[in-house]
Amino acid sequence: MVLVAVGIAAICLLVVSTFPQQKEEPLLFAPTSPFLVSNHDNVAHQVHVSVSGVNGTLDNALLSSENFTLAGSEHVHSSAMTDLIGEYLYSVSVDGNPPHTAVRTLNPTAGIIVEILSSQEALIVPVEFHIAL
């Protein structure tokens, strides 16, 4: 059991260490932030992210619509806040290109990272947070 906990902790540290650290901004999600945008490319990008409730969440209303200018390897949190568990439609457009979309679940143990790989490619990745007791 101890080895499992140590292994999980090591994996968490490895995942966190893959992101560049920035001053005055914590890397991990605030529990109520619906997403984090991370630019994995080495060039700047204009990114538009919109998040809407689906399948009954928020009566299918818009939760967030934000524009970001990210330098190479920069990451930012959404300014939107929610504590509503449910399914959300994420739409991500990079440099004015057609959007990438995905439906993802948001809850106290699950968040979303929007990974910008290039002006043509973005991933909307669910992240599960595991708490060892």
Give the residue among 72, 64, 68 at the shortest CA–CA distance from 37: 68
Most confident of 16-20, 37-41, 56-60: 37-41
Contact partners, residue 24, CB within 8 Å, separation at least 6: none
Beta bridge partners of 103: 89
Fill in the DSSP letter of residue 107.
B
Confidence at 80, pLDDT banded by 50, 70, 90: confident
Question: Taking residues 34-58, what's their average pLDDT?
Answer: 94
What is the model's pLDDT at position 123?
Answer: 97
**Which CATH number does 32-128 carry?**
2.60.40.4150
Token pair belonging to 100: 């990438």
Residue type, 18: T
Cα separation, 45 vs 119, whole angstroms:
7
Question: Taking residues 91-96, what's their average pLDDT?
Answer: 98
HSE-up (13 A, CA, CB side) for residue 105? 7
What is the model's pLDDT at position 32?
Answer: 62
Token pair belonging to 59: 């009566």
Question: Taking residues 17-35, what's their average pLDDT?
Answer: 52
Token pair belonging to 31: 């529990």
Give the residue among 107, 101, 70, 69 at the shortest CA–CA distance from 87: 107
Backbone angle region of 79, left / alpha / beta, with phi > 0 → left and psi within -120 to 50 → alpha:
alpha
Q: Which residue has the higher pLDDT, 102 or 128?
A: 102
What is the model's pLDDT at position 36?
Answer: 93
Confidence at 23, pLDDT banded by 50, 70, 90: very low
Give the residue among 29, 97, 38, 36 at the shortest CA–CA distance from 64: 36
